[in-house]
Amino acid sequence: MRDFTLKKYRKLIQTILESGYTITTFEEFIRSNPPGKVVVLRHDVDDRPYQSLLKARFENSIGVKSTYYFRIVPESNHPEIIREIAELGHEIGYHYEDLSLANGEPDKAIELFVRNLHYFRKYYPVDTICMHGSPASVWDNRLIWQSFKYKDYGISAEPYFDIDFNNTLYLTDTGRTWNGSSVSVRDKVKSPLQKKHSVRTTQQLINRFKDQRLPNRIMITTHPQRWDDQIIPWLRELILQNIKNGIKKYLYISPPMTD
């Protein structure tokens, strides 16, 4: 069966709930630190935002709220989609890449950050942010916070700085697989949990949830543009991702963030 379809995604979410986990936004996770079995569900909207809307509608239909991080660039920033996802009750956050856009100049980058944060706050009272990996850029967007503090701008948390991944399993579909650290430039973390709970396919992940073989605290990150039921866009994404993965293996792959 094809992986990374919306049908498979719906099965994953339903299995998470059936396995006794609460699904929450990153914002709520930071605010309330919920007890028990918790999945923080995060979506990085890099491209094709309509696929994010399809996920958001499904999640809303079963009472799930998740976090959608939008970039400022045109391929992600579609106001009508941002507005509808917010109206469905999901968290909207800023998927920042200002240091890359500013060619590594911190003062210019923070000006862009403030302007772009203000823009997204027209649609939602943005409380959390998350870096965009910008794999084609030499700049790690997180380095802007060596010169500034995001809390000074009304931001409560950023996943790569405010989650202890030694206690929270991080699962991401970067590279169009669930164990793609070798083809991920920056979307990865350093934790003993990663190797212990490594899976490649969504079905393997589903089976891990069914078998109760995962930790109580998990963050799952998806890139909705790669989840599609239609065969032609699904194939296009498959081919493009394979090309990207090949290129990334010849680029500098940065080490994962440490706590």
Question: To 10 degrees, the CA torsion angle through 135, 139, 140, 141?
Answer: -100
Residues 1-36: tens digit of each pLDDT = 799 999 999 999 999 999 999 999 999 999 999 999
The answer, yes or no, to whether residue 210 has pLDDT greater than 70, is: yes
Rg (CA), the chain: 17
Distance CA 225, CA 46 (A): 7
pTM score, whole prediction: 0.93
pLDDT for residue 253: 47
Kindly list the domain boundaries of the chain, sorted by start residue: 6-248
Percent of the chain with pLDDT over 70: 93
pLDDT band at 50 (very low <50, low <70, confident <90, very high): very high
Distance CA 230, CA 232 (A): 6
CA-closest candidate to residue 148, choices 158, 136, 138: 158
E runs forming strands in the chain: 22-24, 38-45, 67-70, 91-96, 129-131, 169-172, 217-222
Please list the residues that pair with 44 across neighbouring strands. Answer: 69
Distance CA 4, CA 237 (A): 10
Residues 140-168: tens digit of each pLDDT = 999 999 999 999 999 999 999 999 999 99
Structure tokens at 80: 């009508």
Q: Find out if CATH 3.30.1490 is the number for domain 6-248.
A: no
CA-closest candidate to residue 13, choices 53, 58, 70: 58
pLDDT band at 175 (very low <50, low <70, confident <90, very high): confident
Q: Are 239 and 173 in contact (CB under 8 A)?
A: no
Residues 221-238: tens digit of each pLDDT = 999 999 999 999 999 999
Q: Are 210 and 257 in contact (CB under 8 A)?
A: no
